[in-house]
Amino acid sequence: DTGVSQDPRHKITKRGQNVTFRCDPISEHNRLYWYRQTLGQGPEFLTYFQNEAQLEKSRLLSDRFSAERPKGSFSTLEIQRTEQGDSAMYLCASSRDVYTGETQYFGPGTRLLVL
Amino acid sequence: AQKVTQAQTEISVVEKEDVTLDCVYETRDTTYYLFWYKQPPSGELVFLIRRNSFDEQNEISGRYSWNFQKSTSSFNFTITASQVVDSAVYFCALSENAYGNNRLAFGKGNQVVVIP
């Protein structure tokens, strides 16, 4: 079973630039989640998809953030006009949609540094 | 309000010692799920254990064991006979049924350092 993959693993950008991250979930998983983790903190929920539908967005997700999951497969997270405060690890997770409380399996993350 | 509290920030143990990580959670749901994840220096969160609110039976899986007590809202995790490879940050997480989306609320993590 191939795990969750994320690309790129690291991204350095200048303030004001746009960046896009990709997440490929475990193939049979219908649910896909994005989390953000800053230094010394636990991951915080950003948004989630059930198949191609984005069902919830956290208040952490400002208007500069947009996520998509076309065709219910891979997902992209775009940050426009990046700010230094966006520097963080962006984690993607996927799970089945059979029972409540299904285990989420995480990818290796994309570490973003905004200069 | 913090839904998951992990009080100890960094714990150092000598190899082969046991280490117990405390987790206290807060929820109004009667159905919920608790998890422990491990985050080694590489950054990937690795799933360790999952427990639902209806099953308070404590179990052992290899060198891992956990103690779930609803009366005190605690879900503690123990690594027996620690090894250097256990050095990582360990996160406790809560998934509440009321949300329907199974989103996880994480604690701040416990940095475990195993000294050879």
Name which of B33, B44, B103 is nearest A45 (Cβ-Cβ). B103
> For residue range B5-25, what is the model confidence (pLDDT) as tens digits?
998 789 999 999 999 999 999
Asked whether the beta carbons of A56 and A2 are under 8 A apart, the reply is no
Q: Is the CB of residue B28 less than 8 Å from the CB of residue B114?
A: no
For residue B98, list chain A residues with Cβ-Cβ distance below 8 A: none
Tell me: the pLDDT tens digits for B33-89? 999 999 999 889 999 999 988 887 777 788 999 999 999 999 999 999 999 999 999
- Those residues of chain B whose CB sits closer than 8 Å to some CB in chain A are 4, 31-33, 35, 37, 42-47, 50, 52, 91, 93, 95, 97, 99-109
CB contact under 8 A, A56 and B103: yes
Helix (H, G, I), strand (E, B) or coil at B64: strand
Residue of B nearest to A47 (CA): B103
Strands A5-7 and A75-79: unpaired
Whole-number Å distance between alpha carbons of B110 and A79: 30
**Window 69-98 of A, Cβ < 8 Å to B:** 89, 91, 93, 95
pLDDT of res. B107: 96
* Chain B residues near residue A48 by CB distance under 8 angstroms: 101, 103
pLDDT of residue B1: 56
**Residues A52-92: tens digit of each pLDDT:** 999 888 888 889 999 999 988 999 999 999 999 999 999 99
Write the DSSP symbol of residue A50.
Answer: E
Locate the chain A residue with the closest alpha carbon to B41.
A108
Shortest CA gap B16–chain A (Å): 26
